[in-house]
Amino acid sequence: MSIATFDIGGTGIKFASLTREGDLLEKDSTPTPDTFEELLAFLDKELKKRHYEGIAISVPGAVNQETGVIEGISAVPYIHGFSWYEALARYDLPVHLENDANCVGLSELLAHPEIENAACVVIGTGIGGALIINGKLHRGRHGLGGEFGYMTTKTPAEKLNNWSQLASTGNMVRYVNEKTGQTDWSGLRIYHEAVNGNTLCQEAIQRMNRHLAQGILNIQYFFDPDVISLGGSISRNPDFLLGVKKAIQDYVDRYEEYSVVPELVACHYQADANLYGALVNWLQEEKAWPHL
């Protein structure tokens, strides 16, 4: 028996059949459908392939764990505002949903079950994150645990500046777009051009790294985790991790108040982290996670 895991994203839906130990039995994906009915058809196709002991889903937005409602808004508007428990009740399987950034954080527990306290920072269009305390996801009273992107980084003027706006990949791309007057830049292209000597791209990366270093040091000193993992597509680039580590070391060298350098790693499962994190969330909710 295995758990049917799904990752609902703005551009694609991923599926994996995973054992409780995280062994991959089957994998599939499809572009994000235009309607909820088409999404349900994809789920139904996968769920009919074999007998499952549960359904685990990673979703954008905040999940009400009591009702199964995905609150807020996202790039997939039709998944919000109703109970997923009721929508999937006909399968007669335990269903557990969790926010996508929280799933990235939870996936690190499968790769490193010895971790007790950890922070995960997911870097993309904005910044999301997750907090792991005593081996479990910390959601917080209002479901805001790990929402690091809301940290303010400068004195607010008319427009609030927060970490998500200043230190994300999306902000780096916007910065280069504004400086060049073009709109076709991407994070991948910026890194490629920087390697080839483009000084604007080098400046944009260093600027992002400095902002990231500030926030990561804040997390280190108010939480003091065993490790801080970085997720998002950009984390797959080894130059990215090296650059952030250098920016952190620059601050540590400059200010004697910093006596600890954060333990920084890239998320283990990379593009599939949401699927493996959904599995861990399902196991923990079912009291079947062996490491607690």
The predicted-structure confidence for 35-49, as pLDDT tens digits, reads as follows 999 999 999 999 999
Structure tokens at 90: 């006909």
Residue 17 pairs with which residues in a beta bridge?
4, 26
CB-based burial of residue 280 (10 Å sphere; 0-12 exposed, 13-18 middle, 19+ buried)? buried
**Residue 162 CA, distance from chain mean position:** 18
Rounded to whole angstroms, the Cα distance separating 144 from 57 reads 19
Between 165 and 220, the more confident residue is 220
pLDDT in tens, 63-118: 999 999 999 889 999 999 999 999 999 999 999 999 999 999 999 999 999 999 99
Which pLDDT does position 219 carry in this prediction? 97
Q: What is the β-pairing status of strands 2-8 and 52-59?
A: parallel
Q: Is the pLDDT of residue 171 over 90?
A: yes
Residue for token pair 């089957």: 26
